[in-house]
Amino acid sequence: TGVYNRTAYADYIGKEDFSPDKVIVAMFDLNNLKKCNDGFGHHQGDIYITTCAKLIAEQFSDIGNCYRIGGDEFCVLMQGVSLEMCKNRVATLYKKVEKENEKKLIDVKMEIACGYVLYDKRIDYDIQDTVRRADKIMYKEKYVMKHGEAKE
């Protein structure tokens, strides 16, 4: 996919000198990958994954480390950048996904749900707490993308 894998992610956050201070965690999940694989084959699913991985890396690799941590889940760890910069990169990513959809590379509309947060030592015991908070936001975004409104 051109991004780091789950092992590299674990190695990075497990380093003795790793500090979560000022780290923004962005979690990404590809919508409808199962539908793509089941309906149109794993070849199209592979195109979906690699295309989205490339787009994520293009937007974030200059400001953070990009990881594929699951089948259709990605994580970016950014240190020393603002939440505003992250927000702008996510907005640009969404626009680029739409441009890719216009090319009709696969028979399913590509969508990437995203959630991102800054490590907060007042509420996060460690970086994994930050990951869980970003994941929760990402799943709310995923719900909105699929159903049109947030569920409380």
Q: What is the pLDDT of residues 107-135, one digit of tens each?
A: 999 999 999 999 999 999 999 999 999 99
User: Residue 89's pLDDT is what?
Assistant: 98
User: Residue 146's pLDDT is what?
Assistant: 86
Percent of the chain with pLDDT over 90: 93
Q: Compute the distance between CA of residue 80 and CA of residue 121 in angstroms, rounded to an integer.
A: 15
Percent of the chain with pLDDT over 70: 97
Average pLDDT over residues 73-97: 97
Q: Compute the distance between CA of residue 152 and CA of residue 16 in angstroms, rounded to an integer.
A: 38
Q: How far is CA 51 from CA 46, 101, 104, in A?
A: 8, 10, 12
Q: For helices 42-60 and 83-102, give the axis angle rounded to 10 degrees.
A: 140
